[in-house]
Amino acid sequence: SAVISQKPSRDICQRGTSLTIQCQVDSQVTMMFWYRQQPGQSLTLIATANQGSEATYESGFVIDKFPISRPNLTFSTLTVSNMSPEDSSIYLCSVVSGRTGYEQYFGPGTRLTVT
Amino acid sequence: AQSVAQPEDQVNVAEGNPLTVKCTYSVSGNPYLFWYVQYPNRGLQFLLKYITGDNLVKGSYGFEAEFNKSQTSFHLKKPSALVSDSALYFCAVRGARDSSYKLIFGSGTRLLVRP
């Protein structure tokens, strides 16, 4: 399975500021995903980030609020812009298994609290 | 539209007893089905998947799941529960013809194994 790391692991931010979350994978992967897990909730896909193309956002998520970069096949960033307390969530990146092409593997998550 | 239902918010079982965590799904065409586990302050860990073939699939930590096409179910099972199995479990699905690889997650079931 792929080894995925995220930075920061957690942060407390003030309303109106922005935070950039980094996701690093130990192998080259084509497809990366960013999910949000609000407190006590399930996972919701924010966007799909493929290298060399613009990210594809799901309904309810927009690029101005959640800009994503994918500069190469092992790295991606998600920025949470102009934060409000409603953005307090765990943000997780994931990749599709390169070996089987089926299961997704997830990073440890970034726990964001907005005050 | 694709969807996943986990009808139980919490499942309580005594250590040593068998456990079942229920999952039903709705998807166009054939499904790819997955179970993930989330321990406190940790990311999601992949447990097992059904892609095709034998309806009973075995995964990590002694867990298994049975795919039932007629009932559109994919229940997670373990013959003998451990206290360390206590965690949050998520069922996920995507359509076999879905080239986006997007996963749809259930709401999660909290498993509590008492000593």
Q: What is the mean pLDDT of residues B32-47?
A: 91
Whether residues B44 and A106 touch (CB distance < 8 A) is answered with yes
CA distance A28 to A71: 12
Under 8 Å CB pairs connecting chains A and B tally to 49
Task: Output the pLDDT for position B42.
Answer: 79
Whether residues B41 and A111 touch (CB distance < 8 A) is answered with yes
Name the residue of chain B whose CA is nearest to A31's CA: B101
DSSP code for A24 = E
CA distance A78 to A66: 6
Whether residues A102 and B51 touch (CB distance < 8 A) is answered with yes
Whether residues B42 and A1 touch (CB distance < 8 A) is answered with no
3-state secondary structure B12-68: EEECCCCEEECCEEECCCCEEEEEEEECCCCCEEEEEEECCCCCEEECHHHCEEEEE
Burial class of residue B7, CB neighbours in 10 A (0-12, 13-18, 19+): exposed
pLDDT score of B96 more than 90: no
Put simply, whether B102 touches A (Cβ < 8 Å) is yes
Task: Output the pLDDT for position B73.
Answer: 97
Task: Output the pLDDT for position A113.
Answer: 97
Closest chain A C-alpha to B99 CA, distance in angstroms: 11
The number of beta carbons lying within 10 Å of the beta carbon of residue A77 is: 18
Name the residue of chain B whose CA is nearest to A35's CA: B103
Whether residues A106 and B101 touch (CB distance < 8 A) is answered with no
Task: Output the pLDDT for position B100.
Answer: 82
Looking up tokens 């956002």 gives A57
pLDDT score of B41 more than 80: no
pLDDT score of B40 more than 90: no
Whether residues A42 and B100 touch (CB distance < 8 A) is answered with no
Structure-model confidence comparison of residues B96 and A107, the more confident one:
A107
Task: Output the pLDDT for position A50.
Answer: 85
Whether the Cβ atoms of residue B84 and residue B75 lie closer than 8 Å to each other: no
CA distance A68 to B48: 30
Task: Output the pLDDT for position B94.
Answer: 92
Cis, peptide link before residue A67, omega less than 30° from 0: no
Put simply, whether A53 touches B (Cβ < 8 Å) is no
Per-residue pLDDT reduced to its tens digit, B53-90 = 999 999 999 999 999 999 999 999 999 999 999 999 99
**Which chain B residues in 59-88 lie under 8 Å from chain A, judged by CB atoms?**
none
pLDDT band at B106 (very low <50, low <70, confident <90, very high): very high
Running along chain A, 115 residues long, what does each successive block of 10 average in pLDDT? 92 97 94 93 93 89 96 95 96 86 90 97
Q: Which residues of B touch A104 (CB under 8 A)?
A: 34, 46, 101, 103
